[in-house]
Chains A and B, each alone.
Chain A
C-alpha cells in the first residue's frame, strides 16, 4: 500500500509539473498541497490498490497504443470509403470470445473495439464480446483475433499474481 501511494504521489507530482508551467514558490506549495490532498483522499477511500494496475507502467503500453493508432487509421479509411458509398455497408451483430485474463485486459479489449471505427462494443461479459460491425472487413478485424491476441500480449508478464 505504501509503495502504491508513493508511486501515485510521483505520478501526480509529474503531472502537476507538466501542466502547470509556473514555478513560483507559492504556486509550487499549492501544488504540493493538492497532491497531498489527493493522495490522502485516495488512501482513505481505499481506491488506490483497486484502480492501480501494473499494466499501466509496462513498456508494452506505448507499443500497444502505436499498434492501435495504426489500426484506427486504416479502419478510418475503410469507414470513410463506406460514407461515400453508403449502399455498400453490411451491418451485422457478431460475437467473439474474450480470451484476456484480467478485467483491465477485458475492458481494454472492449474499449479498443469501440475506439476502432466500424466496430462498436454492444455488450461485454467475462467470456464474450458482442459487437455491432459496419461491414465484412470491420467484422474480420475482430474475428481474426489479432486485436485479442495483441491485448493478451499487453497483459503479458505484468499480470498480477492471484
Chain B
C-alpha cells in the first residue's frame, strides 16, 4: 500500500517536472526579447529540475543513490544561475539593451528601427 502511494507521488512529481520543462520551453518561444526569455529558461533550471530529482529520489528509495541525486540537484542549482548570469552579461557587453516598456515612446520607435522585432537574440 505504501509502495503504491510513494509510486503515485513520485509520478506526480515527475509529470509536474516535465510539465514545467515544457512551460519553460513555451515561455522561451512566447516572450518577446532575450532578457525575458532568460526568465522562462529559469523555470526549466529550477522547478523542473527540482521536481524531477524529487520524483527520482522517491523512485530510488533511500540509498546512496539518493545522495547522488541530491548532489546533482545541488550542483545544478549552483551552476544554473552562473550560466544565466554569464549569458545576460554577454548580451549586455554586446550592447543588447533590454526592451524596456517604460522607455519614452520615441526611444521605443528608434529601437524598432534599429532592431528587427522578434529576433533580437539572433545577431551572434
Q: Count the A residues whose beta carbon is within 8 Å of the partner chain — how many?
A: 33
Kindly report which residue of chain B lies nearest to residue A77, judged by CB atoms. Answer: B47
110-158 of chain A: CB within 8 A of chain B = 110-112, 114-123, 132, 134, 138
| A and B contact pairs by CB, cutoff 8 A, 11 listed | A18-B71, A79-B42, A79-B43, A83-B40, A90-B101, A111-B78, A111-B85, A114-B85, A117-B42, A120-B39, A122-B92
Residues of A contacting B35 in the complex (Cβ-Cβ under 8 angstroms): 91, 120, 132
Q: Are A83 and B85 in contact (CB under 8 A)?
A: no
Residues of B contacting A10 in the complex (Cβ-Cβ under 8 angstroms): none
Q: Count the B residues whose beta carbon is within 8 Å of the partner chain — how many?
A: 39
A11 at the A/B interface (Cβ < 8 Å)? no
List the count of A-B residue pairs having beta carbons below 8 Å apart. Answer: 111
Q: Are A83 and B47 in contact (CB under 8 A)?
A: no
Which A positions have Cβ atoms within 8 angstroms of B? 18-19, 21, 69, 72-73, 76, 79-80, 82-83, 86, 89-93, 110-112, 114-123, 132, 134, 138
Residues of A contacting B80 in the complex (Cβ-Cβ under 8 angstroms): 115
Residues of A contacting B36 in the complex (Cβ-Cβ under 8 angstroms): 89, 91, 134
